[in-house]
Structure 1
Amino acid sequence: MNPFLVIEGVDGTGKSTVCAALEQDQGAAFYKGMSPEWRDFRDFVDEDADDFSRLLYYFASVTYTSGKVKQSQETLPVICHRYFATYLAIFSLNTKTPLSQLKEAFAPVRARMVTPDLTILLTADHEELKRRLLARVHELKATDMRVVNSVEYTLNFELALREVLSWDGEYAVLNTTGKTPDEVIAEARQLCEQHIQNWKPVSHEVR
């Protein structure tokens, strides 16, 4: 099968920038952990559904994405902007559900999903995240504002991401603090070449 890469991280860490560059490098298929079709229902689910219904919605949406990934992998590399870790982390934070309970509930779902060849967790310090997010003043979402307004929420979000990602074993971490987009992209390329056997090397100079 062709490579499957996931880019995870708190809002503002640079996921979209890295995904776009690597997608172009590899001629890859690109997906988001929650596809646009499923996102259309998210506001309704988050506002009106009970916790159990909301969790099933998250499980179903990421399973759907996994199925699309599996189809695309037959012909193309695949890059995914978030997969399942973010949605479980956010659910845990918002409902105060222990991640150990979510892991147990998610296990039969996870067994049916494609496993990434590599997941890269992008990180950055809170002040940098805040600056980056506030620069998107017209695009800010509720989760963005929670990151902007709370160091504690941001730290807990990242800790939850790390725990969920550890369920699959090892993952790579790329700290984007103080780095230009080109520097972050170059480091992401290196990680892919080091950890994914059939990743196509791409030579680009950092400007």
Structure 2
Amino acid sequence: MFTFICARRLFCHKDTKLIKLCSYLLEDSTEKMSLSVNYPWKYIYIAGSDLPIYLKRGRTLQNESESRISKNYSKLFDKRNSKYLLFSKSRWADSSCKATYVHSAIESHLAYRQKGKWPATTFSHAVFGSEDCVQKGVFCCSTSQEQHSHLHSQIKDFLKENNSFKAYQFHESSSKNIFKLSDIGDDNTYETSDDREIEVEIVKRSSMKGLQENDPVASPIFSLPEISPVFHSYNEARIVLEKLSCVPEVKELLDVTDNCITIATEKSCDQTLLHPFVVVEGMDATGKTTLTELLEKKMGAARYFTPPPQITHLRAFFDKYPEIVRRAYYSMGNYIVAREIIQECQSRPVIMDRFWHSTAAYGIANETSSGDMPEPDHSVYRWPSDLLKPTIVLFLTVSEDVRKQRLSGRGLQATFEEKSLDNDQLFRQRLCDAYRRMNSPSCIEIDAGGTVEEVQSKALQVLASHGVNLHCINK
């Protein structure tokens, strides 16, 4: 086991329900704790949009690569930008690693909801912990000289309004690779004066013992099963939701799932389908709906979606959760619809608009930087052992100009994913890379930038080449 802090950019949501949600989870929202005393840690991991950054507590005195490391990360740690780490001081009744991570991630929404109020500030996920405890918070950084002078006072005001939070500010030192984290609150619960200031050093990943042994490249998020947002079994996803079972919407989701999945899911993945099960994947506005409608008619197929109708009304609620909980929701939808598809495919083909590949790809893209995505042979891309496998998976891609043009024609409010895709080019690339690295089954990429007829023709050719029956069934 290892300890670390990680940070990652995300979009905030304005929803007062999140504030009420935290009250379900806290044992004592006013109890104060020190980062260094109550949650001892050794490493900090920041998943910057382009490069991962590793910080280690104390000084390693390994200065031979100091200039190279400093140059790589100079943009993030620019002297003109102020940087802060915010996290919850709350304790939870369930102190297990997974529960602490999930609960603190939810409460951290209270911090990054400030994005709309603090202009020219980059907001990021942050996670820190110890051998038996991992907790989430928020990393924020000013992006303009003007905001640099205002961010400190804004965070101080936030701490006064939300006394369950604590904040540390990054300060540079005489060494290029050394930073100091100093407490900016009014907390008086420290055992020693040293607890108010913590020294950290930028290091290479190889310096982080326990981190590089089994997984020398991938983000630490995917080295700890307790915090990974990609689930490879029904039980993995359900365990996350059970940590929040006192929340009405979560309980409803679990109840619906229990009613839909009455047989052991392990048996479903081995079912022999009499007709093909075709999944169409892709980012928003790549033509998935259009193609699935055409294939539905061409093949006389049934068309399915995820999340399925039984839990669609809960989607807006779960989309405001941190990634690990959101993906657990979408995973439940995958298992619910898989049960229905097993029965449907005994009488006719099924066309599916998104399935497990999308659930996993967004989880991966949101929790990594472009410099530490899991390699193609990583287990994170492996299909769940207890989930029905598609006959074939088509992955539609278009240029960003075409995608934006199609989005503008919809006239609908942008979703969380659409905002991410629109504002972060590196996120879009990570998402595409995640789709392309999926295996067993892999995604067959189709350029969907042409006319509807051209895209349909390409899709039919791919299906025919993989032995999928294309004969229209007259009804």
- Pairwise TM-score range, normalised by the shorter structure: 0.7 to 0.9
Q: 1:138 to 1:64 in 2, by over 3 A?
A: same
**Given the alignment, which residue of 288, 291, 295 partners 1:18?**
291
Q: Number of residue pairs matched?
A: 194
* 2:373 is the counterpart of 1:93: no
Matching of residue 200 in structure 1 with residue 474 in structure 2: no
Instruction: Give the secondary-structure state (helix, strand or coil) at the position aligned to 2:457.
Output: helix
C-alpha distance in 2 between matches for 1:196 and 1:171:
16
CA contact (8 A) 2:381 2:439 kept: no
- 1:62 maps to a residue whose letter is N
Mapped to 1, the partners of 2:349 and 2:408 lie a distance apart of 33
- Deviation of 1:176 (Å): 1.6
Q: How high is the sequence identity, in percent, across the aligned residues? A: 24
1:3 alignment partner AA: P
* Structure 2 equivalent of residue 59 of structure 1: 331
Task: Give distance in 1, aligned partners of 2:392 and 2:289.
Answer: 17
Q: Distance in 2 between matches of 1:99 and 1:37?
A: 33
Structure 1 residues 112-132: Cα deviation after superposition (integer angstroms, max 9, x where no partner): 222111111111111111111
The residue aligned with 2:341 is 69
> Which residue number corresponds to residue 187 of structure 1?
458
Q: Provide, for residues 133-154 of structure 1, a one-character-per-residue CA deviation record: whole Å limited to 9, x for no partner.
A: 1111225323223223332222
Q: Amino acid of the residue matched to residue 116 of structure 1?
A: P
1:119 aligns with 393
Structure whose alpha-carbon radius of gyration is higher = 2
User: Structure 1 CA distance, aligned partners of 2:403 and 2:367?
Assistant: 24
Q: Which runs of 5+ in 1 are unaligned?
A: 203-207
Paired residue type of 2:347: T
Tell me the distance in 1 between the aligned counterparts of 2:299 and 2:395. 20
Amino acid at match of 2:305: K
2:403 equivalent among 123, 129, 133: 129
1:7 paired with 2:280, answer yes
Unaligned runs of 5+ in 2: 1-273
* Structure 1 residues 26-175: aligned runs within 5 Å: 26-48=299-321, 51-96=323-368, 110-138=384-412, 140-163=414-437, 166-175=438-447
Contact 1:27–1:76 (Cα < 8 Å) also in 2:
yes
| Bigger proportion of residues as strand | 2
Query: Displacement of 1:74 after TM fit?
Result: 0.7
Cα distance in structure 1, aligned partners of 2:367 and 2:305: 23
Q: Following the alignment from structure 1 to structure 2, what is the Cα–Cα distance between the partners of residues 35 and 129? A: 25
Contact 1:7/1:15, CA 8 A, preserved across alignment: yes
The answer to whether the 8 Å contact 1:6/1:82 transfers is yes
**How far, CA to CA, are the matches of 1:112 and 1:106 in structure 2?**
15
Relative to structure 1, the CA distance from residue 169 to residue 31 in structure 2 (aligned partners, 3 Å threshold; closer, same or farther) is: closer
Counterpart Cα distance in 2 of 1:139 and 1:191: 34
Instruction: Report the Cα offset of residue 167 of structure 1.
Output: 2.2
Query: 1:117/1:153 Cα in 2 relative to 1: closer, same or farther (>3 Å)?
Result: same
Distance 1:29 1:99 in 2: 35
| 8 Å CA contact 2:323, 2:366 repeated in 1 | no
Tell me, in whole angstroms, the C-alpha distance in 1 between the residues paired with 2:414 and 2:286. Answer: 14
Residues 1:52 and 1:13: Cα distance change in structure 2 (over 3 Å): closer
Give the direction of change, closer, same or farther, for the CA distance of 1:46–1:142 in structure 2 (3 Å limit): closer
Contact (CA 8 Å) 1:33, 1:84: kept in 2 or not? no
Give the distance between the partners of 1:105 and 1:58, measured in 2 at CA. Answer: 16
Instruction: Determine helix, strand or coil for the equivalent of 1:71.
Output: helix
| CA distance in 1 between partners of 2:325 and 2:416 (Å) | 20
One-letter identity of the residue aligned with 1:189: L
Distance between the aligned counterparts of 1:141 and 1:52, measured in 2?
18
106 and 53 in structure 1: CA distance in 2 versus 1, 3 angstrom threshold: farther
1:91 is displaced (CA, Å) by: 1.9
SS of the residue corresponding to residue 319 of structure 2 reads helix
Aligned-partner Cα distance in 2 for 1:106–1:187: 26
With a CA cutoff of 8 Å and minimum separation of 6, indicate the structure with the bigger relative contact order: 1
Say if 1:62 and 1:106 are closer, same or farther in 2 by CA, change over 3 A: farther
Provide the aligned C-alpha RMSD in A.
Answer: 2.4
- Mean alpha-carbon deviation: is it higher for 149-158 or for 61-70? 149-158
